[in-house]
Amino acid sequence: MTTKLDGKALARKLQEELKVKVTQLKQDGIQPCLAVILVGNDSASQVYVRNKKKVAQKLGIKTIDKQLPQTVNESELVDLVTELNQDENIHGILVQLPLPESIDEDLVMRAIDPAKDVDGFHPFNIGKLFMNKGQIVPCTPKGIMRLLAEYQINLDGKKVVIVGRSKIVGMPLIALMLNANATVTVAHSHTKNLKEITRDADIVITAIGQAEFFDMQYFNSDAIIIDVGTNRNEAGKLVGDVKRDAVMGHVAYLSPVPGGVGPMTITMLMEQTIQFAEERESKCNEKNI
Ligand code: GUN
């Protein structure tokens, strides 16, 4: 039997708690506010941003929407980020990735005030994460850790295989898993004998962006599988990196797509925004502003 790691249900529960926090902040005169920058017209990014704004609205978080054309240049984008950094009413800044190829993504990430970096992509926050001193953590990896904790899955000494090494998922997860005392292996497009590596793992996190790539042959029957893929199959249906129906029933736990990591990512984004607003409130209280 496979236990479903139900990110959708956990996200719903956490969002109820966050709604209460927002109400409290508003009573104290603080309106949590997230600025979202979307460059160009990538359809997947448009959907992600729309979903983030929808959840923010549901929780009472204000969003500031900045849409820029594909042709925007680096300095215009950095100027916008700088302007948002200086606005005291904005607690979090999110630049939806990927950016057009003509723009240096790292330069833009570095322009964000690390204290408003809700995505945790600024090198300062990434560095702190790898030093096990990180409080600002990228949302998808943070959501994965929270989901595992909810099901009381102990990571200490576990063999964790992360498939994919992106800045958004794989890289930060390396730090989080190491900080939790897991034994971490990172596999990627140059890895040989992937099947042997994943089959030996206690926990496999798949984040390669290839629709239904992993079947049962990649996992042992005690494995815990976290599917991070968000892909469309030929019929246009949202599917993960794992062949869900083939694997369900043959592993110990599965976080499926849809209904697993996706809702947790958005919830962690909201949590981080609210946390920044709370920190601003306590700083103002200290200074008696
Ligand atoms: N693109 C895909 N996932 C993410 C994310 O978590 N944050 C941002 N900013 N862009 C993304």
- Tens-digit pLDDT profile for residues 162-218: 999 999 999 999 999 999 999 999 999 999 999 999 999 999 999 999 999 999 999
Residue 141 has pLDDT above 90, yes or no: yes
DSSP summary character for residue 242: B
Instruction: Please state the rounded mean pLDDT for residues 132-140.
Output: 95
- The token pair at 172 is 């930060």
Instruction: Please state the rounded mean pLDDT for residues 243-254.
Output: 97
The CA 276 to ligand 1 mean position distance, Å, reads 19
pLDDT category at 134 given cuts 50, 70, 90 is confident
Residue with CA nearest ligand 1 atom 11: 97
Q: Is 15 labeled as catalytic in the residue annotation?
A: no
Find out whether 38 and 64 touch, Cβ atoms under 8 Å. no
The C-alpha angle with vertex 262 and arms to 276 and 89, in degrees rounded to 5, equals 20
Residue list for the binding site for NADP(+): 164-166, 230
Q: Is 271 in the pocket of ligand 1 (CB under 6 A)?
A: no
SS3 of residue 153 by DSSP: coil
pLDDT category at 285 given cuts 50, 70, 90 is confident
Contacts of 83 (CB under 8 A, 6+ apart): none
- The token pair at 143 is 């959501």
Q: What does pTM read for this prediction?
A: 0.97
Q: Is 139 in the pocket of ligand 1 (CB under 6 A)?
A: yes
In this prediction, residue 286 carries a pLDDT of 77
Closest CA to 121 of 164, 167, 157: 167
Q: What is the Cα–Cα distance from 135 to 43, expressed in whole angstroms?
A: 31
Question: For the residues of 41-70, what is the DSSP string, one character each?
Answer: --HHHHHHHHHHHHHHHHHT-EEEEEEE-T
In this prediction, residue 289 carries a pLDDT of 61
The CA 96 to ligand 1 mean position distance, Å, reads 5
Q: Is 119 labeled as catalytic in the residue annotation?
A: yes
Instruction: Please state the rounded mean pLDDT for residues 30-57.
Output: 97
Contacts of 10 (CB under 8 A, 6+ apart): 146, 147, 150, 263, 264, 267
Residue given tokens 């849809």 in the structure block: 258
Which of 52, 53, 142, 158 is an active site residue? 52
